[in-house]
Each structure stands twice: as C-alpha cells, then as structure tokens.
Amino acid sequence: MKNLIILFSLILSACSGINFREPAQIKNSSLDEIFTIRSSKVPVDGPDLFTMADESLKIMVDAEFIEDLSLPLEKAFRIELVVDPVTYRLNQKIYYGPHSFHDKEAVEGLKNFTRNITYSKGMNAIFPYYEMYYNALRGHALSLKNFILLKNAPDINFPNRVNFFMESPGYADRVVEDNKMLPALEAQIKEENAKQKSLTASRKTLIAELDKLPDDQQLKSIIARGDRKEAAELIKKYLPWEQMAPFETKYWNTYLDVMENPAPLEERVLVYRGADGDFIHSAEGLSKEAAVKDGRAFYMSTLMTKNQGSWNRRLRSLETMYTKAIGEVAEGKDFATAVRMSALFTNHAGDPLGSPFLSFTPNVKIAMNFGRQTIASFLIDPRLLSYNYLGISEEAEFLMALTTFPDDMAGLLVYNDHHHTQYDPINFTKNFFNDKLTAKIEVQYGKEAAPDIVNKINKNSYNFFLNQYKPKIEGVAYLPEVIPGPSNLKYYNNLKEGALKPLLGPTGNLNCATMVQLFWKH
C-alpha cells in the first residue's frame, strides 16, 4: 500500500504540470491574439456602425465598449471576458480604436465571434464559454483550439446561411491567419494525450487495489461513520485528474477541501431534497428506522447508487461518465472536455440518471413536488452548493457532488408515518423541519444558545438563496432583525489564505454566486 500511495502522489504532481501550463508556454499562440478582430486590409471609409453593433451585441451579451487609442491600426477590436470584482457580473469588454466602427468587415467578424461564443447547440448560455475562457487563460490547448474554430465558423444558429462576414473579401485570409496557431496547439494536444494515457494507466493500477479493500474501507462505510478526511482522500485517488481541464480541476480541489473541512453547523444554510426513490443510507450503527427517526442518514448520487460492484469501484464512473450522456454535448468530445462542468450541469437538469450530483432546493414547496413520500432537510456548507446556472430557473436547483454525510441531515420526513398531513401538508412540512432543525441545534449547542443560532441559520439561508430565487422562499424564514454578518466575516476571514469563500456583502451578509463567478475571484 505504501508503494501505491507514492504512485498516487506522483500522478497528482504530474497532472498539475499538464493542466496549469501558462499561455506563454504555447509558442505563437495566446488568448489575446485569438480574441482580437483584425482590421480589414481594404480602405476603411464606411459609415459609423457603433449603434448597430451596440444594439446587436447587447441582445446576446452584457457588453461594454471601451475606446483604446493605443490599439494598433491593424487591430479593430479586442475582446476580454471578465467578472466584475464587486458586482460579480459577467461582462464582455470590447476595446476599439478610432476607425473600428467604420470597418464593416471587422464589425461583422466581432458579431460572428460573439454570437458563436454565446450560443451553442446544447447550451444557450454564456457560462460554458466563461468556463472555456478560464481554461484557455491557463493554457489549456483544447480550449484555445475550440475558440479558434469558433471565431470564423458560420453562424451557429444558422450554419447553412452565408452571412456578410463570410462573403467579405478578407474572410479567407482571416481564417488562414487564425489557423496558423493550430499546428502548435495540435502538437501540444498530442503530447498531453500521450502523458494522460500513461497517467491513466498508473492511476488504474492504484484503484484496482482500492476496489477490493474490505467493507470498512469502502466509501459507503467511510461516509456512514462520518470520516470526511478519509472519504476525500479516497475520492481523490479515483478522480481522473490527468484528463481534466483547469476549471474542472479547480472544482474538485476546492470541493474536496471544503467537504473535508466544512463550516460548523451555525455557519451552514438550510436546504431540502425531495427524496422519492432515493435509497436511505444509515449512519454507522443505526437501523434504517433509527436513522429516519434521528435524522442521521445520508444520500448518494445516482452515479453511485445506480451502479454495480463495490462502493469504491463505483467511483470509476467519475471517469466513465465522460463518455455517457451525462458528460457529452452536441459539439463533440473536444468541446465537452473544455466545458465539462457546464456540460454536467446541463445534462443533470435534463436527466440526473448517472449524474455525480445530488439536487437541493431552498424552497420546501419545490422539494414536495419531488418528494410526495419522502423529504429530507440538510444543513450544508454554502461553499458545497453550486447553483445550476444551466438548469430550470423556477426550481432554484443547487448541486452537491456524490454524497451527503450523516451530520449534514437536519430532518427526514416520511409521509406514510404522518397520514394527517393531507389536511395541511405545506404547513405541517415546514413546522416538522423547523422542529427538527431546532432539536439538532439544541443537541449541538445547548437549549439556551439554540434560538439565536437557528435564527442565524435561517437568515443566512434567506440571504444566500435570494439572489438566485426571487419569489418567496417557502421553508426559509425571513428575519429582518437578525444580523449574522459580523459572525460570517469572522469565520471566513479566519480561513487559510486562498480558501474558497462565498460571496459576502460589505457587512458580511451571505450571498450566492455561481461557480464561474467564484472561481474567477479565487
């Protein structure tokens, strides 16, 4: 086993070298060059097209035009994807020179590229392209290649329609010039694929032994006894790090770090899950009946439960899901690799079968739609909840990877045990979970402290989810007089340097930001 541990550490260190290569290391290719629209080679004397471009682009994206007098004459526009550091707004900054909007060919090229990085066949949203841009910034060759191919491609909504840009005199030259970067990128991709193949073989040698570990060292047993550190270390060994783009690597690194060291209960937020059809796993030493009564159970994603083999072996699906429906997109394998998290989010919203995620909602009414027989409530570290920005907005879906832990559960309601709920099911359900939350906090903190902590949890939950869920949040109390901000600031400011933090307001109020927005900051 000692040799296997050494092997695993070598795999991780080698993978980091692949995934985080800087753009400067790719000869003759940079994101800045790809995101530059060159000026036409013909004289530019047409009308000012600023209004037309402004109106056209702002239908698609949140664009900000910035005049840049230092922009060379041969460059008409330079595009930069940013996340505002204060508001967290996703924004495209478009820099232009004195003559840029008189160059119709360049303006049409700008519109074409922007359109193609805003819409895709399967994901009509800007988020996947921010994920790919994040990867490209860190030198991910496939992401850079994808952007080159998108830059001069036909209108993605009407691929058979020839537009003005493609008919322009300089179109063919633009394609040739941009494609000059492809050979260097293809060489890097080939080199990295060879390294990945070797690292994958080494990792599979390791996990072949882990598949066969005794029952008490299998993931389900580890979670049942609440050993977060051991669970995180085991999952790390199965994850296909060598095949990940930087954004996906960032997700799993931060997720597992928080999973291993979550915030205390008083800093968590309250969520619900409609759990019809879910298998209830009991905490160690408890029968199913006792786990339901005490609220000490856990759930696992369908990637784990709708699978075969030992509980460790089922973690192999973290790799095989890449070639399943849950991990694919219409644009193909190369595109899916560059937008992996967005692909998983999109496909989970459509059909969660085989998904690595569990879904939660802050709204008990929505949970009741998915839980006609069983509903569970949980206290979750907000950093573990990722808003599904590609899901159905009315559901306010938040995703958590692989599994909950027994200490996460706040309450478990099986309606068959409460036949009278048919008379007032909503209020009964809300009151049931309020009572369960209070009881859990009393056990952890004592009866005297419990009311203030319950109020803090409810206020943090309301503030956190309000950004993404505008209607009234049923099941999360609105408490305007409760001010948990200073406590939040104290906790998160004391975390280690570089630790992932949720979006905090100026006074410390807890707010929600998408994974894209948070990763841009961290």
pLDDT value at residue 162: 65
pLDDT in tens, 493-511: 899 888 888 888 888 888 8
For the chain, what's the residue count?
A: 522
Could you tell me which residue, 13 or 247, shows the higher pLDDT?
247
How high is the mean pLDDT of the chain? 84
pLDDT in tens, 37-52: 999 876 566 677 777 7
384 vs 401: CA distance, rounded Å: 8
> Residues 468-496: what's their mean pLDDT?
73
pLDDT band at 236 (very low <50, low <70, confident <90, very high): very high
Q: Which two tokens stand for residue 152?
A: 């001069």
295 vs 284: CA distance, rounded Å: 13
- Region at 55 (left for phi over 0; alpha for psi -120 to 50; beta for the rest): alpha
% of the chain at pLDDT higher than 70 = 84
Q: Which of 4-8, 111-115, 226-230 has the lowest mean pLDDT?
A: 4-8
429 half-sphere exposure, CB direction, 13 A CA radius: 29
> Residues 323-335: what's their mean pLDDT?
85
pLDDT exceeds cutoff 80 at 460 = yes
pLDDT value at residue 2: 45
Q: Which residue has the tokens 């040739």?
A: 176
For the entire predicted model, the pTM comes to 0.89
pLDDT exceeds cutoff 70 at 522 = no
- Region at 18 (left for phi over 0; alpha for psi -120 to 50; beta for the rest): alpha
Residue pair 360/400 in contact by the 8 Å Cβ criterion: yes
pLDDT exceeds cutoff 70 at 9 = no
pLDDT exceeds cutoff 70 at 337 = yes
- Burial class from Cβ neighbours inside 10 Å (0-12, 13-18, 19+) for residue 298 reads buried
pLDDT in tens, 373-397: 889 999 999 999 998 877 666 667 8
pLDDT value at residue 92: 87
pLDDT value at residue 20: 38
pLDDT value at residue 46: 67
Task: Please say whether the dihedral angle defined by the alpha carbons of residues 290, 293, 299 and 302, taken in this order, is positive or negative.
Answer: positive
pLDDT exceeds cutoff 90 at 466 = no
pLDDT band at 124 (very low <50, low <70, confident <90, very high): low
pLDDT in tens, 239-257: 999 999 999 999 999 999 9
Could you tell me which residue, 279 or 313, shows the higher pLDDT?
313
pLDDT value at residue 12: 42
pLDDT in tens, 188-211: 999 999 999 999 999 999 999 999
> Residue 431 — φ and ψ, nearest 5°?
-65, -40
522 vs 520: CA distance, rounded Å: 6
Q: Which amino acid is at 1?
A: M
pLDDT band at 114 (very low <50, low <70, confident <90, very high): confident
pLDDT value at residue 501: 87
Residue pair 455/480 in contact by the 8 Å Cβ criterion: no
pLDDT value at residue 222: 97
> Residues 224-251: what's their mean pLDDT?
96
pLDDT in tens, 441-458: 999 999 999 999 999 999
pLDDT exceeds cutoff 80 at 158 = no
